[in-house]
Amino acid sequence: MSWTGRFLRALDNPIVAKDGISRMRSWRAPLAITLYLGLLGAFGFGIFSIEVLSSSYSRPVSAQIGAAVFGALAWFQLVLICLFAPALASASISGERERQTFDVLLVSGVSAFGIVWGKLLASLAYMYLLIVSALPLFAAVFLFGGVDLEQFTLVQVITVVTASSIGAVSLLCSALFRRTLTSTVSSYGASFALVAGTAVAGVILSYIKVLGQAAGGLEPHPLLFANPFYALNTILTQPSGNPIHAGRLLQLLFLARGRSSDWGPQLEPWQLSIAIMLIAGLLSIVASVLLVRGRRASLPFRRPRAAVVAQ
């Protein structure tokens, strides 16, 4: 089969349609969208009101209001996605086990990759629906100005990649643990580690780097680049970017001192953040496939054993 055919077949995954139908027929689906948009809208309106009230004496330009509301919405959306994504993906496979439908799925013609891919796509599709449904709220900010299209696009890309990455990690937890409760708790743990853990560790390591140094400013440790909120912050506060050489990145990673290395391509923080999250997501998918495949008798390294002749 050609690669195009494989790609089309991968998209035509029956699990996506089945999970989509099941999810959208439950009362939780419209409730979650309502809650998501309601919270986002209320938060955006709150920030807008505060900006208008606080600026009534200083007469700011509307662009400042637009930028402030946009930034607040972007931050809050990322927070919501970090909260929603584990909940949506962490029951994907463990739920099948608890429902006692997993064995039947395993003996069907769907491959281990097909199961994992289908489950991930089904979870992500709903998260993407949430993100897309919030676009009109973001678009409203354009009425005020202060936000360029590149910023707007990058914010949405960061949000989508974060949702995908957390979704993939949550799916791994779901494949790893038999119980949905355990899977959900560990997914939130992983999400928290990605968001808060990298921020705290990154800041601490950044300060360790400058300790004892006579001169030189504070430079962010590369661990911070794994943090989607840091990437979001650079997009919102430094639209022109703050590129860093790959060589300097490695220096900072290992807390090496000395002259700044300037070899390698220059990378924006958001590019690094996206790359790190995509790698984490891909590794999670591979690990999930291996775990699901391990549930069958067809593990490649088990084949010789399974076919052993009677003793």
Exactly one of 110, 140, 176, 199 binds another protein (CB under 8 A); which one?
A: 110
What is the C-alpha to C-alpha distance for residues 77 and 92, in angstroms, rounded to an integer? 23
Q: Tokens 């990145």 belong to which residue?
A: 249
Residue 178 interacting with another protein (CB under 8 A): no
Residue 223 CB, shortest distance to another protein, in Å, is 40
Tokens matching residue 288: 């999930």
Residue 250 interacting with another protein (CB under 8 A): no
Residue 22 interacting with another protein (CB under 8 A): yes
What is the C-alpha to C-alpha distance for residues 170 and 184, in angstroms, rounded to an integer? 7
CB nearer to another protein: pick between 26 and 34: 26
Residue (of 289, 225, 252, 267) closest to 93 by Cα position: 289
Residue 127 CB, shortest distance to another protein, in Å, is 20
Exactly one of 28, 99, 179, 257 binds another protein (CB under 8 A); which one?
A: 99
Inter-residue contact 218 to 206 (CB < 8 Å): yes
What is the C-alpha to C-alpha distance for residues 270 and 155, in angstroms, rounded to an integer? 9
Exactly one of 14, 38, 46, 216 binds another protein (CB under 8 A); which one?
A: 14
Residue (of 205, 242, 229) closest to 277 by Cα position: 229
Inter-residue contact 102 to 91 (CB < 8 Å): no
Q: How many residues bind another protein (CB under 8 A)?
A: 33
Count Cα neighbours of 106 within 13 Å in the Cβ-side half-sphere: 17
Residue 305 interacting with another protein (CB under 8 A): yes
What is the C-alpha to C-alpha distance for residues 225 and 222, in angstroms, rounded to an integer? 5
Residue 28 interacting with another protein (CB under 8 A): no
Residue 104 interacting with another protein (CB under 8 A): yes
CB nearer to another protein: pick between 176 and 299: 299
User: Number of helices (H) and strands (E), helices first, in the chain?
Assistant: 15, 2
Question: Which residue stretch of 13-21, 70-78, 237-245, 273-281 sits at the interface with another protein (rule: CB under 8 A)?
Answer: 13-21
Question: Which residue stretch of 9-17, 189-197, 211-219, 260-268 sits at the interface with another protein (rule: CB under 8 A)?
Answer: 9-17
| Residue numbers at the binding site for another protein (CB under 8 A) | 14-15, 17-18, 21-22, 25-26, 99-101, 103-110, 295-299, 302-303, 305-311
